[in-house]
Amino acid sequence: MTKSTGNAFPSPLRWTLVAVACVVASGCASVQPVALSQQDMQAQQQKDSVNLRKDVEPITGPLTLDEAMARALKYNLDRRSKQMEEALALGQLDVNKYDMLPRVLAQAGYLRRDTPRFTGSTRFGEPVPSSFASSDTSTSSEAAHYTADLSLTWSLVDFGIGYYGAKQQGDRFMIAGEKRRKAMHLLMQDVRTAYWRSASAQLLKADVKKTIRLAEEALDDSRKAATERVRNPLEPLRYQRQLLENMRLLESIDQELSSAQLDLA
């Protein structure tokens, strides 16, 4: 028989804790996602742009192909994003490995009573008296005491699920590594193409401009000759058509050469 004269928490405090728990639970259930505003996205974009360019070393001299490739591998955003994906996959692989380990559960508590807990006993078959004498009772617990529990569980099902989950995450890590290498190879091809286009632009841009001016002068001379009717009218027209086609081709080449340095950058 156990006689109790007190509770761990007073009744008003217990109801207060229950009310607080209900409020917290309802607050967690009512959380709604908040969309980012246009100003916030612009501010974050400017901040990211500054952070991405603050450690970039300036170009102080002629740029070689090897230096261009090295700078692309160091500063290119696409490759850096693939590196982050690979690092994230590796971190997730490390996390999944812990799912194969046993689970450890630790619990602790605190119990307080106004008076110690007394326990009385009687022999089998004898009637239970309405009250016990002081010599027939004993204390079973203190008025205030702590409780602690530590348990270790390990399930073969959890181990199997964790093992195959880790294997799948390992495959994802390998895929992320292959994506990074693919991005690196494509980047090298793009850098090589852009570099030689930029080098060609530096060598040929002045010649292309000069050739366009010569073609414009030849076109004006052909129109004057057609106006003076010195030759057959069909010959200047054919000549002008050929000049216009050549000028259009030269202008497209000049436009490609003008954007070569931007593509390389």
DSSP of 82-124, one letter per residue? HHHHHHHHHHHHHHHHGGGSPEEEEEEEEEE-SS-EEEE---T
Domain that holds residue 140: 103-123+132-153
Q: Is 146 helix (H, G, I), strand (E, B) or coil?
A: strand
Residue 24 has pLDDT above 60, yes or no: yes
Q: Tell me, what's the pLDDT at 98?
A: 72
In sequence order, which residues have a C-beta less than 8 Å from that of residue 250 and are 6 or more positions away?
Answer: 208, 211, 212, 215
Q: Is 231 helix (H, G, I), strand (E, B) or coil?
A: coil
Lowest mean pLDDT among 35-44, 46-55, 108-117, 135-144: 135-144
Q: Tell me whether residue 190 is in a domain.
A: no
Q: Tell me whether residue 265 is in a domain.
A: no
Q: Tell me, what's the pLDDT at 128?
A: 60
Q: Tell me whether residue 192 is in a domain.
A: no
Which is higher by pLDDT, 245 or 20?
A: 245
Q: Tell me whether residue 92 is in a domain.
A: no
Give the number of domains in the chain.
1
Q: Tell me whether residue 34 is in a domain.
A: no
Q: Tell me whether residue 62 is in a domain.
A: no
Q: Tokens at residue 145, please?
A: 């005491």
Q: Tell me whether residue 216 is in a domain.
A: no
Q: Tell me whether residue 138 is in a domain.
A: yes
What is the total residue count of the chain? 265
- The span from the CA of 87 to the CA of 91, in Å, is 6
